[in-house]
């Protein structure tokens, strides 16, 4: 399955970030890098883009799509941990953060991810496939 996802409000997001070429930007929901590519394009070698996603399949796609940009750091993780992630990178402040919250079209389209009812697949809905499935109203993991 191809990773298809149309970046939402792309132009508006890029305008809103008001990108400085030497700035540091975080895309906390990297996905297929639709927004990140446009950010990376606008950065000088002194600038930096940190892309975070908790879906390893998205990270693999983004890695390939962003391979021509040197000043990009991709992180497998949760954007809730942004403070720790930036600390680890020794970054004290950033110039902009983008959060495109929700699921990507790929996660919906790919039957095995179990997000959609269109196909007859087992309900799963984990963004981070390394996590266990937890039963609702239970602390039990299956």
Ligand X SMILES: C[S@@+](CC[C@H](N)C(=O)[O-])C[C@H]1O[C@@H](n2cnc3c(N)ncnc32)[C@H](O)[C@@H]1O
The answer to whether the CB of 13 falls within 8 A of the CB of 35 is yes
- In angstroms, the CA 95 to CA 110 distance is 34
Using alpha carbons, select from 124, 8, 136, 137 the residue that is nearest to residue 57.
Answer: 124
Candidate segments 39-47, 102-110, 115-123, 129-137, binder of ligand X by CB under 6 A: 102-110
Contact call for residue 55 and ligand X (CB under 6 A): yes
DSSP, collapsed to helix, strand or coil, labels residue 10 as: helix
Nearest Cα to Cα of residue 101 among 56, 66, 53: 53
Residues 58-97 as x/- pattern, contact with ligand X by CB under 6 A: x-------------------xxx-----------------
Q: Is residue 51 part of the contact set for ligand X (CB under 6 A)? A: no
Residue 5 binds ligand X, judged by CB under 6 A: yes
The binding site for ligand X (CB under 6 A) comprises 5, 7, 29, 31-35, 52-55, 58, 78-80, 100, 102-104, 127
């Amino acid at each position: 399955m191809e990773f298809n996802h149309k970046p939402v409000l792309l132009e508006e997001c890029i305008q809103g970030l008001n990108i400085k070429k030497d700035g540091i930007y975080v895309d906390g929901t990297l996905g297929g890098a639709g927004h990140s590519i446009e950010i990376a394009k606008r950065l000088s070698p002194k600038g930096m883009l940190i892309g975070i996603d908790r879906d390893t399949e998205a990270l693999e796609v983004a890695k390939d799509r962003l391979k021509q940009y040197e000043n990009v750091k991709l992180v497998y993780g949760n954007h809730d941990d942004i403070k720790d992630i930036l600390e680890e990178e020794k970054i004290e402040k950033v110039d902009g953060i983008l959060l495109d919250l929700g699921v990507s079209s790929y996660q919906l389209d790919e039957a095995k991810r179990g997000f959609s009812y269109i196909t007859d697949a087992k309900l799963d809905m984990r963004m981070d496939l390394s996590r266990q499935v937890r039963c609702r109203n239970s602390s039990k993991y299956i």
